[in-house]
Structure 1
Amino acid sequence: MEPTGKKAATIEDVAKLAGVSIATVSRAMRTPEKVAESTRKKVTAAIARTGYTVNAMAQNLRMQRSKMVMALAPSISDPNFSGILVGLEKVANQRGYGVLIGNTEGNVEHEEKYLHFLSTGMVDGLVLLTGHLPVAGWPERSASSFPPMVAACNPVDHAEIPYVGVDDTAAAKVATDYLISLGHRRIAYVAGPQGSLVDDMRYAGYCQAMLESFDRPDIWKVRGDGSTEGGRAAVELLFIRDTLPTAFFCFSDSTAIGVISALNSRGMQVPHDFSVVGFDDIPFASHITPALTTIRQPRTHIGEIAMTELLDQLTSHRRHLGRTLLHGDLIVRSSCSTPHAIK
């Protein structure tokens, strides 16, 4: 605090000490990415020497800007989350913002609690990783009434909410085409959570590959939930049938790991008896036995673009509509081979 009787520092004091204009000081505080680093350092040093930091904070409050954004995530234990967070924080830090994390665990009450940060001005915008709008009734509202927000990794079922993620349909087709190229005809798709838009898109890519390759394709969709246990349960469901697939394309790496575990417990060998492909390329995917063939998501890049779009909304007050879809790469490891019957 300023000592009693001492005049509070002004922006003019900062500008004079830094040797720059008042406009440059203002720009350095509001949009530091637009100011040369050397100038930004002089302004920062002058703010520290004059004690203008308190005044700058008050100005942010008057402008209803907290310089903080929140990422709402369904679970911070998701192996994909850390990579996305790296990208979000990288861009936020570059542009003078901080990132708060709201771990919802799929709980509506948790989501509403985190929205209190938005309604009270403690955060300026949201990055949604949950796949849905956090307040009932929002789908019927115009996007112009929404706070600044961007969906990442899991699209929101609202045409006016911008989305950044991998091209799930194209990537799933690549994965299925790879299994087909090895000679597999009976390929089962082990699904993700029911009602998931991501699951719909990955299943669509699987179907597209099968329909383009075979006149009468065997379309196998086995119920799952995206988890390891869901993968194990899917295998148990299949083994009550008379005919089995020769390969599995799984909604996620976690699902694929569950499939491999269930096959191993039945005395089957991957890839000798069955081939398995996952999706995500989580860190553990290359360390299981056999190492998992999968689709790699550019998680850090997704986070970077999502944060860029959100902060652009905050500065321009315009929402970039539509979807930004990034390429997913097929990472070939040891979990696939030609079908045993034709070796």
Structure 2
Amino acid sequence: MPTIREVAQKAGVSYTTVSHVINNTRRVSTPVRERVLAAMQELGYRPNALARSLRSGETKTIGLILPDSANPFFAEVGRAIENAAFRSQYSVILCNTEGDQAKERVYTEVLQNKQVDGLIFVAAGDQPDALQEIATRGLPVVVIDRDCSQLELDTVITDNLSGGRQAGSHLAQIPNLRAACITGPSNLTPSAQRLVGFQQALHEAGIELREEWVLRGDFHPHSGYQAALHWLKAAQRPNAIFCCNDMMAIGVLRAAAELGVMVPQELEVIGFDDIELASYTHPPLTTVAQPKAQIGETAVRLLLERIADGWLPARREILPTTLIIRKTTHEEKP
């Protein structure tokens, strides 16, 4: 393994000049810099990342904690985060908690021990205590997809209330609407806000959302499938189902297909997220789109700003949703 002194000798410069080129700690003229870089390439020299991080106090790494990396929504947001971080010359370490708060605490400690420069975090739940523990660790943190307005933490969330209203307003155009909703876990505010927005839109249209036509799911396809089987086998069944994520909506589509219920002629279905798979279901899924790329890019921007200046006031970015009408619902009225 070549040393920095061998690079200096090859380039005909001092040891400190090579150090300045590697660490970008002082201006070096372009011809000299190019000579040093050429010598490094010819000798196959690679800077020691650990040594550089010890000198600079930065590791150029970001921790990313997700509750379910198999969920396409989080996978797509994670990809956006990785791409945005890479453009800023940061690497990302991904940890998957599977919604387990004990695992979440362990991973947070592991990432801090690895001296990541900051953390982008999707909590297993919305409990203030768990988020407060993260906030007190002294690590720059950005929380995404969780509403923690009671804490002084940078946050990136989607306007879930508005998204639920968009779904409700669209379905409210159905004559003799009998609407149902499959929510997500009770400990997550995004799901609760989507339900509230949905109820508000129906109420404004003079439509009741019956209590028995609201069932709790877990954001996985099977829970949507089971809820739909329960309703569609009943004597009186809903003619529209709003699912608080696309994965549950995919489960609903399977149940409808098995029972011979035609979508959208007999049953209209709306999801939430607009994962990539949503446009490939049969029929293609109408859904409320979250701006996944913007979520990831905004989270990285806020985190890098926080790393650069820890005294910034907490920021709260609320991003808009968009209703994407495909073939599982009616065409929008002009």
TM-score computed with the length of structure 2 as normaliser: 0.81
Q: Deviations over 1:34-59 (max 9, x none)?
A: xxxx99x85983794796934x7524
Q: Return the alpha-carbon distance in structure 2 between the equivalents of residues 74 and 47 of structure 1.
A: 46
Q: CA deviation at 1:159?
A: 2.7
Q: Return the alpha-carbon distance in structure 2 between the equivalents of residues 261 and 4 of structure 1.
A: 62
CA separation of 1:142 and 1:154: change in aligned 2, threshold 3 A = closer
Contact map agreement 1:118 1:124 (CA 8 A) in 2: no
Q: 2:316 matched to which residue of 1?
A: 323
Q: 1:28 matched to which residue of 2?
A: none
Structure 2 residue matching 1:279: 3-state secondary structure: strand
CA separation of 1:211 and 1:146: change in aligned 2, threshold 3 A = farther
Q: 1:29 matched to which residue of 2?
A: none
Contact map agreement 1:71 1:126 (CA 8 A) in 2: yes
Provide the alpha-carbon RMSD of the alignment: 3.5
Counterpart among 268, 284, 297 of residue 290 in structure 2: 297
Q: 2:11 matched to which residue of 1?
A: none
Q: Return the alpha-carbon distance in structure 1 between the equivalents of residues 258 and 101 of structure 2.
A: 38
Q: CA deviation at 1:127?
A: 0.8
1:1-40 alignment, distance < 5 Å: 10-13=15-18, 22-24=25-27
The farther-off stretch of 1-10 and 66-75 is 1-10
Query: What is the one-letter code of the residue matched to 2:197?
Result: G
Structure 2 residue matching 1:80: 3-state secondary structure: helix
Q: 2:178 matched to which residue of 1?
A: 186
Q: CA deviation at 1:23?
A: 3.7
Q: Return the alpha-carbon distance in structure 1 between the equivalents of residues 277 and 83 of structure 2.
A: 24
Q: Return the alpha-carbon distance in structure 2 between the equivalents of residues 266 and 165 of structure 1.
A: 37
Contact map agreement 1:10 1:52 (CA 8 A) in 2: no
Q: Return the alpha-carbon distance in structure 2 between the equivalents of residues 141 and 222 of structure 1.
A: 32
Counterpart among 136, 142, 157 of residue 165 in structure 1: 157
Counterpart among 258, 266, 281 of residue 265 in structure 1: 258
Counterpart among 205, 208, 211 of residue 217 in structure 1: 208
Query: What is the one-letter code of the residue matched to 1:286?
Result: S
Contact map agreement 2:268 2:330 (CA 8 A) in 1: yes
CA separation of 1:159 and 1:125: change in aligned 2, threshold 3 A = same
Q: Return the alpha-carbon distance in structure 1 between the equivalents of residues 113 and 39 of structure 2.
A: 27
- Whether 1:308 and 2:298 are equivalent positions in the alignment is no
Q: Return the alpha-carbon distance in structure 1 between the equivalents of residues 80 and 112 of structure 2.
A: 26
Query: What is the one-letter code of the residue matched to 1:273?
Result: E
Q: 1:337 matched to which residue of 2?
A: 330
Contact map agreement 1:224 1:233 (CA 8 A) in 2: no
Any gaps of 5 or more consecutive residues in structure 1?
Answer: 26-37, 339-343
- Whether 1:229 and 2:255 are equivalent positions in the alignment is no
1:233-244 alignment, distance < 5 Å: 233-239=226-232, 242-244=235-237
CA separation of 1:42 and 1:243: change in aligned 2, threshold 3 A = farther
Q: Deviations over 1:1-32 (max 9, x none)?
A: 666997986544455x79xx95447xxxxxxx
Q: Return the alpha-carbon distance in structure 2 between the equivalents of residues 69 and 212 of structure 1.
A: 44
Q: 2:192 matched to which residue of 1?
A: 200
Q: CA deviation at 1:328?
A: 1.6
The farther-off stretch of 183-192 and 250-259 is 183-192
Any gaps of 5 or more consecutive residues in structure 2?
Answer: 9-13
Q: Return the alpha-carbon distance in structure 2 between the equivalents of residues 43 and 187 of structure 1.
A: 70
Query: What is the one-letter code of the residue matched to 1:174?
Result: Q
CA separation of 1:46 and 1:4: change in aligned 2, threshold 3 A = closer
Q: CA deviation at 1:297?
A: 1.7
CA separation of 1:239 and 1:44: change in aligned 2, threshold 3 A = farther
Q: Deviations over 1:170-212 (max 9, x none)?
A: 1111111111124353211111122211111101110111122
Q: Return the alpha-carbon distance in structure 2 between the equivalents of residues 137 and 174 of structure 1.
A: 32
Q: Return the alpha-carbon distance in structure 1 between the equivalents of residues 126 and 108 of structure 2.
A: 11
CA separation of 1:137 and 1:255: change in aligned 2, threshold 3 A = closer
Q: CA deviation at 1:111?
A: 2.8
Q: Return the alpha-carbon distance in structure 2 between the equivalents of residues 190 and 286 of structure 1.
A: 20
CA separation of 1:197 and 1:6: change in aligned 2, threshold 3 A = same
TM-score computed with the length of structure 1 as normaliser: 0.79
Contact map agreement 2:97 2:124 (CA 8 A) in 1: no
- Whether 1:53 and 2:47 are equivalent positions in the alignment is yes
Contact map agreement 1:72 1:101 (CA 8 A) in 2: yes
Structure 1 residue matching 2:93: 3-state secondary structure: strand
The percentage of counterpart residues that share the same residue type is 28
- Whether 1:101 and 2:94 are equivalent positions in the alignment is yes
Contact map agreement 1:194 1:225 (CA 8 A) in 2: no
The farther-off stretch of 110-119 and 296-305 is 110-119
What is the count of residue pairs matched by the alignment?
319
Contact map agreement 2:232 2:238 (CA 8 A) in 1: no
Q: CA deviation at 1:269?
A: 0.9
CA separation of 1:138 and 1:76: change in aligned 2, threshold 3 A = closer
Q: Return the alpha-carbon distance in structure 1 between the equivalents of residues 309 and 67 of structure 2.
A: 29
Q: Return the alpha-carbon distance in structure 1 between the equivalents of residues 265 and 167 of structure 2.
A: 19
Query: What is the one-letter code of the residue matched to 2:280?
Result: H
